[in-house]
Amino acid sequence: MKLAPCLALRVAAAAFGLTSAALAAEELKLVRIGNPVSGHIHPAACVSAKGTLIVTYGHVNHRDLRLTRSTDGGATWSEPKPFAPTVGKTYYPGSLTTLRDGRLLHAWNRWSEPTNEKEPRSVLYSLSSDDGLTWSDPKPFPRDEKVVSNIRHPIVELAANRWLLSLSDKTQVFDPTTG
């Protein structure tokens, strides 16, 4: 099971159509991006406008969300770094999306409070304008506080400032300028 994030990331890189020499080889070589990992790691990946492969995953069950990057189609990876908004808090992994304007959208699930693992969960998001090097302060998606809401799939950008959210409790169009 510990190889799952490696395999998932290589498959994701191939699915994104990356054509580096590493992916063109007859056999894909697995690359471990984190060691150790345990629990709900659920990697999510996107390719930035600059062609950088960016991956988020849970390092330890419900804690320590990490980000790592590859500029060579997944053959090598940067040292995974903690995703600052989740340090010392509980979370559940979510999704990454590249928006048409080049920004990256990272959405993840938080339990009812920042430091517990009690329902209901809610979804927070941050944006990056610099290829995933830094991220905006987290903002919440609208929710009913009595209902579990979580995200597992990339967000679909319908148009500028019109995002289609596929959440566990609803599907909605969201405008980040009006909330």
**pLDDT, tens digit (0-9, with 9 covering 90-100), for 42-60:** 889 999 999 999 999 887 7
Confidence of residue 7 (pLDDT cuts 50, 70, 90): very low
Q: What is the pLDDT of residue 88?
A: 79
**Rounded distance, CA 72 to CA 50, Å?**
12
Q: What is the pTM assigned to this prediction?
A: 0.80
Tokens for 160, please give them: 């500028």
Q: Which of 89, 164, 145, 101 is nearest to 127 (CA)?
A: 101
Q: What's the residue count for the chain? A: 179
Provide the CATH topology of domain 4-174: Neuraminidase (2.120.10)
Domain ranges of the chain: 4-174
Q: What is the pLDDT of residues 150-165, one digit of tens each?
A: 888 899 999 999 999 9
